[in-house]
Amino acid sequence: MKRYVRASVNLYGDQNDTDRFLIARDTPTVRDIRDIANTETESIVLMALASNPNTPADVLLELARKGNDSVAKYALRNPNASIELIDELFGSSLAIGKYAKEYILREASDSNMGVDQNFLKKCTQSRYPRIRGTVASNPAAHEDVQLLLANDSNYEVLWNLVNNILVYKRCLEELTRNPDEDIRSQAEKRLAEEDYITP
């Protein structure tokens, strides 16, 4: 397969849209992905490239910026999407912004135990308190995700975290050192009542 793809990429410009779509979707090497991203203009092919699990974060950001909303949606859903891409689309005033807000907040609040913890970790680094606060209140967030938020600078994020129905003991212990009296006392109360979970 790799030899076929490499040969196909060499002849990429001579391919029809369907073949270019398949090549973009299945290309395994970053070099080939970058080549395609720099030359392709067809939205359907750019969507395939944005959905390719081998497409690196910087190329996804570039695709989201130069493509249409459909391309940006695929880039956002790619597991390699960076927090820069997530924040940029979340804050967009374009049509993609509405979709991005709904998608990001839905994923960040997904309380299924199979939720993507890597996505939640990325969201803890968001510049938007609404994203971080949504993760903080997510009962499916693992201990390491909660600990990333335990020293957040936003009161609402901390309040959501200290009141998470499945907050971890170590997270509460960290919150007892918070300078805000409300956060600190709520953490101490939950610790005293043993209202927490342990890994």
- Four-CA torsion 155, 132, 170, 151, nearest 10 degrees: -50
Residue with tokens 């395939």: 48
- Domain with 47 in it: 1-80
Task: Provide the domain count of the chain.
Answer: 1
Q: Does 108 map to a domain?
A: no
- Quote the pTM value: 0.85
User: Is 38 part of a structural domain of the chain?
Assistant: yes
Q: d(Cα 181, Cα 185) in Å, to the nearest integer?
A: 6
pLDDT digit string (tens) for 86-142?
999 999 988 888 999 999 999 999 988 789 999 999 999 999 999 999 999 999 999
Residue 142 belongs to a domain: no
CA distance 3 to 7: 6
